[in-house]
Structure 1
Amino acid sequence: MGKVLRPGVTIKGTKDGLLFLLDESRPFSAILSELKYKLENASNLWDGPDTRVWIKLGNRQITREEEKEMRELFSARKNLIIHSIEAANGKPYLVDNRGIQMLAGTVRSGQVLEHRGDLLLLGDVNPGGNVRSTGSIFVLGALRGLAHAGGEGDESAIIAASSLHPTQLRIAEVVSRPPDEWDESETSGMNFAYLVNGQIAVDKMHQISRIRPDIHEWKDHRFKA
């Protein structure tokens, strides 16, 4: 018997209104599709007086464009009034696209961490974990899962980690060779992966300024927790 996938959107009623819990481990595009389905169906569930809505994103942060898409879905139900959108631990629910965003935690098997811009992750990416970013990815920890940098086609993006033992690396549209073909000497110590001649190469971190001479410009970027 196949594994039953838990809902990406869980709706709970409270004395003050409705609570929408969005699964942080799913791609946000999949969350929006499920939300659209639920809002367009079971129409009798949504009929009634004005109802306040609280949206909980978990550890996810979203862009203004993603927020706009989500609000447009809710606008189809005039009686559902969004009261708040919240991320966990009191952090802003909107992504700050300025500079490098710093996040702390472990990306576990089955979880997907999506980000716009450059990402500095203080923690590990376990096997089965997935980190995706439109910019570069820096992991101060072990990268043993999948990492996709330059997700919107940025071929200058890099992927760096204190311990680089990925199941797969992807930069822009280029995918790394299988993990069983990695040379152990390539992934010992702190390394980074980058694109050269249409292929993903790996080098020691101290070589980054030689291979990416523009990297010095990042020193002035703000780090935001």
Structure 2
Amino acid sequence: MSANSQMVTIKGTRDGLTLQLNDQCSYDSILQELEEKLSVNGIDDNQPMIRVTIQLGNRFLTNEQQETLRKIVREKQKLVVDQIESNVITKDEALSWKENTEITPMTKTIRSGQVIEVKGDLLLLGDINPGGKAVASGNIFILGHLRGIAHAGSQGNEEAVIAASYMKPNQLRIADQISRAPDQDSDGLYIECGFVDKQNEAIRIAPLQDVLKQKPDLVSFERRMLNG
């Protein structure tokens, strides 16, 4: 590494400060330069709290090392670490990501009292009868009638959706959001999709093609199907 290369680059942003750490030098030298740079100027007590994002690049730090970084920043008045970003993840994190992005295809009817739970997306070729329940950490796609309960994004993913060939559910849930059951006398809906409407902070049902305009990332489902 060139002697003139900066180990710590500090940039001001609209949201606060970004600290870019050179990933080609040692961790100890990073800590030393970080302390020196943050000690150059004092911070006025009247200034508001400044949020800091630390970018590690292609560097992995343990939880203990990350906490040391946070401590150095915290010691500087009015600075607080908002997030630490890295291009590197652990093997366990990679396995968890893979598990939660896989598609589980299933051909069956989920009857009253039955509960099906999967990680990732669920592709159900069949019906969910009243009293039946399907739970997925990702999206739920039903090629059949949804008359029971469907819970997508069960681990907190509000971007998840629920789509069904025919939708007249007892209940829809996405993350922590819950929709009420439709009126008993109302008709069901064909090829509809339930999703969290961020504007109204509630679950809304709309034609699938309308949802795709708002959630273009759903095309990744198609790519995973083709690559699966």
TM-score, normalised via structure 2 length = 0.52
Corresponding position of 2:210? 207
TM-score, normalised via structure 1 length = 0.53
Q: What does 1:112-191 align with in structure 2 at a 5 Å threshold?
A: 112-180=115-183, 184=187, 187-191=188-192
Per-residue deviation, 1:113: 0.4
Could you tell me which runs of 5 or more consecutive residues in structure 2 were left unpaired when the two chains were aligned: 1-91, 93-97
Aligned match of 2:221 in 214, 218, 222?
A: 218
Distance 2:185 2:178 in 1: 13
Deviations 1:93-151 (A, max 9, x none): xx965532111100001100011111000000000101111111010000000111111
CA root-mean-square deviation:
2.4
Describe the shift of the 1:203–1:183 C-alpha distance in structure 2 as closer, same or farther (beyond 3 A).
farther
In structure 2, what residue type is equivalent to 1:171? I
Deviations 1:17-44 (A, max 9, x none): xxxxxxxxxxxxxxxxxxxxxxxxxxxx
* Greater than 4 Å deviation, 4+ residue runs: 95-98
Distance 2:181 2:192 in 1: 17
Query: Relative contact order (C-alpha < 8 Å, sep 6+): which is higher?
Result: 1
Corresponding position of 2:9? none
Distance 2:185 2:210 in 1: 19
Per-residue deviation, 1:160: 0.5
In structure 2, what residue type is equivalent to 1:145? G
SS in 1 for 2:109: coil
Distance 2:217 2:185 in 1: 28
Deviations 1:35-60 (A, max 9, x none): xxxxxxxxxxxxxxxxxxxxxxxxxx
Preserved contact between residue 160 and residue 174 of structure 2 (Cα < 8 Å): yes
Could you tell me which runs of 5 or more consecutive residues in structure 1 were left unpaired when the two chains were aligned: 1-64, 66-94
- 1:194 aligned onto 2:195: yes
Describe the shift of the 1:182–1:99 C-alpha distance in structure 2 as closer, same or farther (beyond 3 A).
farther
Larger Rg belongs to = 2
Q: What does 1:1-40 align with in structure 2 at a 5 Å threshold?
A: none
Describe the shift of the 1:206–1:122 C-alpha distance in structure 2 as closer, same or farther (beyond 3 A).
same
Deviations 1:164-191 (A, max 9, x none): 010011110011023228964xx42110
Q: What does 1:97-116 align with in structure 2 at a 5 Å threshold?
A: 97-116=100-119
Identity, % of aligned positions:
42
Q: How many residues align?
A: 130
Corresponding position of 2:67? none
Distance 1:212 1:167 in 2: 25
